[in-house]
Structures are given as C-alpha cells and as structure tokens.
Amino acid sequence: MRLIVSFCGSPTYQLSKYLQLTTILQPLTDKSRRKLQSTENFIDAIKTVQIPDDYKLVSFDMKSQFTSIPLQLALQSTKTAIQQSTTELPLPTEDIMDLLNLCLTSTYFQYNIDDTFTVVPKDEIDAFHNHLNKQNADIQSTKEIEENGKLPFLDCLVSRDNNHLRTTVHRKLTHTDRLLDQSSYNPTPHKATTIKTLTRRAQLVCETPNSLHDENKYLQRVFQKNNYNADFVKRNIYRPSEADETLHLLLQ
C-alpha cells in the first residue's frame, strides 16, 4: 500500500514552492541534460539515438523510492551546486540552506531519483551496476536488462529496430483495464478526461501506424468493458489542436 499525503496548505508548502520554482533551485536541476520532464521528453530524447550491436538497454531503478537520500548528503550537494552556480540568488546561501533544511525535515516523505534509462556495453553491465551501488550504502539500485530487444521504461515499451529505438504503450502485468465506469457516480468531465488521457498517450507513445492502430483497438475494447458508449468515446478522443501541432513541429 502506498500512502498519499497532501501537504497543500501546510506551513512549508509555500516555502518549498518558493525554493523550487524561483531562481534558487530550479536552475540547478534544469542544467542537467539527462533530466526527463515527461514521457514526451523521453521519446524526443531517444529519437535520434543509435545503439551499437554490442550494447544493451538497461534500466537502473532505485530501491525503496520513498525512503530518503541521506539528508546531509542532499544538503551538502545542494550547497555545493549553489556555490558553483553563476546565477544571482535572491538570498544568501546560508539562508537558503536553512530554509531547505526546514523543508526537508518537516515532511513525512523525502524523495530520490527513481528510474534511469541507459545503454551499456553488454559485457560491462554488472561492473557498472556494482560501481553505482558502491557510491553510497544508502543509495542502492536494481537493474533490468532488455529481453528480446525490448525494455519497459515509464509508460513506454522501448524496442530495438536495427540500431534505432521505437516505442509503444507499456502496461504492467498487474494492469486490470479497470477505469471509471461510465455508469458510475462520478462527474462526467472525469470520465471524459479518462478517454482523452488514454487516447492522447496512444498518439504520443505509439511511433508507427501499426502500433497506434493496435493500441486504439485495445482501448476500444477497454472502453466497452467499462460501459462507455461509442458516441461518448468519439466525442472525447484526444485531438491535437493546431497550436499543439505547430509547437511540435517547431520543437523537432
């Protein structure tokens, strides 16, 4: 069971937003070329990647995601990054560290990096994994290696196509196809959003016409299983706006 605790309105809520969203901490994380903001960001990042034959796709996952990186290590790493940054800060470094310490010690959960997607020479996977786990006894990872040229990552199933990578939608083995039933006592906009979200993901993640066709057929069966009528589904299928398509072309 995973507990979800809302901190909206808590004493440190606005403080943490100030630290993260202003020019204090955000620029430090945005500088990383290896940071992923979303599935869309991940797909864009791997479009031009070419994988040599003697390399394997490997995902390294942090153990116990909701346990913390050692607090002092996090604080010291942040302080070092601030001191090395050329960004002008609105507060002295020591004041920032005091505020950050208050936020990190006033929450029930502290978070760390979860998933990483890597390409590693196949005869160096174990050595690299051992190297990662030797860095800090509190930060340990497991590894998952591609099988039959495929590796799940985020909500994508990444497949090798010669030396290129292709994606389609990934579902865990525990997935049950259970959605908000259309006959359930839930707001209609929530049900409409269910349709839009799943059809948008299909259009975003499925790279080939065949995989998109298969995913749409699958979703059609899922919607029927959850008692959605065809007219409601048709009205709420995600359709990119002209502005969305223009922005996508500009980013390519």
pLDDT in tens, 158-199: 999 888 999 999 999 999 999 999 999 999 999 999 999 999
Sorting pLDDT into bands at 50, 70 and 90, what band is 248? very low
Residue 30 clears pLDDT 80, i.e. is over it: no
Angle at which helix 188-205 crosses helix 39-46, to 10 degrees, equals 10
Q: What is the pLDDT of residue 246?
A: 39
206 secondary structure, DSSP code:
-
Write out the two tokens for 37. Answer: 């903001």
Alpha helices in the chain (DSSP H): 13-21, 26-30, 39-46, 71-84, 93-104, 125-133, 188-205, 209-225, 230-236, 242-251
For residues 92 and 83, give the distance between their C-alpha atoms in angstroms, rounded to a whole number: 10
Tokens encoding 176: 């049950």
Which of the given ranges, 11-15, 81-85, 98-102, 196-200, has the highest pLDDT on average?
Answer: 196-200
Alpha carbon 92 to chain centroid, angstroms: 32
Per the model's pLDDT, the better-predicted residue between 67 and 138 turns out to be 138
